[in-house]
Amino acid sequence: MGSSDNLIGHNGSDFGVFTGMYFNPQRNTGRIIISNTDTDFYDDELIWGEIREIWKSLMEYEIEFSNKKSSNLFGNKAEKFPGYVQS
């Protein structure tokens, strides 16, 4: 669904549902999409266009998260999460 990385995963569908779950070993992150839309009986471009947009958003977030994680995303938890109490 549009990624230059080698992903490990699986997708599938049944009446009224579509799912996809993939892991990116290079970034140590994963993407999951679960939709209560039947991909077999609707206009392909309408449904798959929406799924591609969702997948693209997940990929962009994965890249952003991966970059922040590598620059110590959770370095100062109290600053990032108001109300956080160190235990």
Q: What does the pLDDT look like over 36-85, one tens digit per residue?
A: 887 776 666 778 888 889 889 988 888 888 777 666 555 555 555 555 55
Which carries the bigger pLDDT value, residue 87 or residue 67?
67
Residue 28 lies in a domain: yes
Residue 78 lies in a domain: no
Angstrom distance (rounded) from CA 85 to CA 3: 38
- 63: tokens are 């890249």
Angstrom distance (rounded) from CA 59 to CA 30: 9
Residue 80 lies in a domain: no
Residue 3 lies in a domain: no
Within 10 A of 22 (CB to CB), how many other CB atoms are there? 21
Which carries the bigger pLDDT value, residue 2 or residue 20?
20
Biggest CA pair distance of the chain = 52
Residue 79 lies in a domain: no
Over residues 21-45, mean pLDDT: 82
- Which residues span the domain enclosing 41? 8-73
